[in-house]
């Protein structure tokens, strides 16, 4: 089914122009695929049924997989290196939810920040697909405030 990745890299390794162009083309192909899939998912999006909506299901799947993978409950964990970045290993990490989570040298901070960010993204995907902004916040028209602005009856202090 083609050459393995290391074979392709050894072919273009001594030609920087080709190496760069191959990677730029790969980036363009991946970005084009992701963009076309996003447009497809928006085309089949049905806000009346949020549970069967593919964007909601993907958010739930990504959140669950990421939380279990990073913490090591179901998966290897994350890469933890020594302070100099010379050696390291993949290990399970307990999330640091307290003040220690903001220390850049505590691996648990990485886990807790990724889990919290995934929770916010999953919540945004849910509320973005379950209801429209008008249903969520109510309608607002710019003409509602035009009476005050046009009369000039704003009291001056």
Question: What's the domain range around 99?
Answer: 47-138
The pLDDT value given to residue 56: 65
Position 28 scores a pLDDT of: 93
In a domain, 157, yes or no: no
Place of tokens 């009291």: 155
Q: Are strands 88-91 and 78-81 parallel, antiparallel or unpaired?
A: antiparallel
pLDDT for 61-92, tens place per residue? Answer: 666 677 777 776 777 777 777 777 788 888 87
Pair 112, 36 in one domain: no
Interior/surface letters 60-76, b for 16+ CB within 10 angstroms, e for the rest: eeebeebbebbbbeeee
Distance CA 123, CA 64 (A): 13
Determine the pLDDT at residue 128.
Answer: 64
The reply to whether 62 and 40 lie within a common domain is no
The mean predicted confidence, pLDDT, of the chain is: 72
Tens digits of per-residue pLDDT, 1-30? Answer: 566 666 667 777 777 788 888 889 989 999
Look at residue 143 and tell me if it is in a domain: no
In this structure, the answer to whether residues 65 and 127 fall within a common structural domain is: yes
Q: Do 5 and 72 fall into the same domain? A: no
Q: How confident is the model at residue 157 (pLDDT cuts 50, 70, 90)?
A: very low
Same domain, 12 and 58: no
């Amino acid at each position: 089914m083609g050459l393995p990745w290391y074979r392709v890299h050894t072919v273009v390794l001594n030609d920087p122009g080709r190496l760069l162009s191959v990677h730029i083309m790969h980036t363009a192909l991946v970005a084009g695929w992701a963009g076309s899939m996003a447009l497809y998912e928006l085309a089949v999006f049905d806000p009346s049924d949020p549970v069967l909506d593919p964007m909601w299901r993907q958010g739930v799947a990504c959140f669950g997989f990421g939380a279990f993978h990073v913490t090591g409950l179901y998966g290897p964990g994350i890469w933890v290196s020594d302070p100099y970045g010379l050696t390291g290993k993949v290990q399970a990490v307990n999330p640091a939810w307290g003040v220690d989570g903001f220390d850049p040298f505590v691996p648990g901070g990485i886990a807790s920040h990724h889990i919290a960010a995934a929770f916010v993204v999953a919540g945004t995907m849910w509320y973005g697909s379950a209801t429209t902004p008008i249903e969520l916040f109510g309608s607002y028209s710019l003409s509602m405030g035009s009476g005050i602005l046009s009369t000039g009856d704003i009291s001056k202090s």
